[in-house]
């Protein structure tokens, strides 16, 4: 007859494994820890940590006020408008929006450098150029569609 072997599994303490991993973390993840320290320092210097601390400390008060506001008709309307604005932003093609943003930035820069306002003749020449007509066409199409949606 066989003799049974006694087997006692070693008891593992999960806390010991965590302590071992924590002790090795500075060596294994030194670069990542340095980046985290830099982020913490920058957040401390510009006041972000103070703002987060204030938000966490006042979370009950903030949540209560938000719930109060959301219960009003204005709050419901604001939330619905925010959702609709999100749909509009999500529907915009970045390939179309990027040139418009660049044109706005460039136009603002040219306007800043301009000095005296242009004469009516200069405005007419600018508007009647090929690029001016293209821009006017775009704006009038937007206005036409906006007017159509208001009826």
Structure pTM?
0.43
pLDDT-derived band at 17 (thresholds 50, 70, 90) equals confident
Question: For the segment 98-148, what is each residue's pLDDT rounded down to a tens digit?
Answer: 888 898 899 899 988 988 888 999 999 999 999 999 999 999 999 999 999
Q: Residue ranges of the alpha helices (H) in 29-118?
A: 30-45, 48-57, 59-70, 73-91, 94-114
**How far is Cα 17 from Cα 4, in angstroms, rounded to an integer?**
32
Residue 62: CB atoms within 10 A of its CB come to: 13
């Amino acid at each position: 007859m066989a003799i049974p072997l006694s087997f006692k599994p070693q008891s593992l303490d999960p806390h010991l494994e965590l302590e071992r991993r924590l002790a090795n973390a500075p060596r294994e993840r030194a670069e990542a820890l340095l980046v985290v320290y830099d982020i913490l320092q920058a957040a401390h210097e510009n006041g972000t940590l103070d703002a987060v601390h204030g938000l966490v400390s006042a979370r009950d008060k903030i949540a209560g006020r938000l719930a109060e506001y959301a219960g009003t008709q204005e709050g419901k309307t604001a939330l619905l408008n925010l959702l609709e604005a999100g749909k509009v932003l999500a529907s915009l093609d970045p390939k179309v929006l990027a040139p418009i943003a660049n044109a706005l930035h460039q136009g603002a820069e040219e306007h800043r450098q301009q000095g005296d306002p242009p004469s009516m003749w200069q405005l007419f020449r600018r508007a009647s150029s090929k690029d001016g007509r293209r821009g006017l066409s775009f704006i009038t199409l937007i206005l036409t569609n906006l007017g159509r949606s208001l009826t």
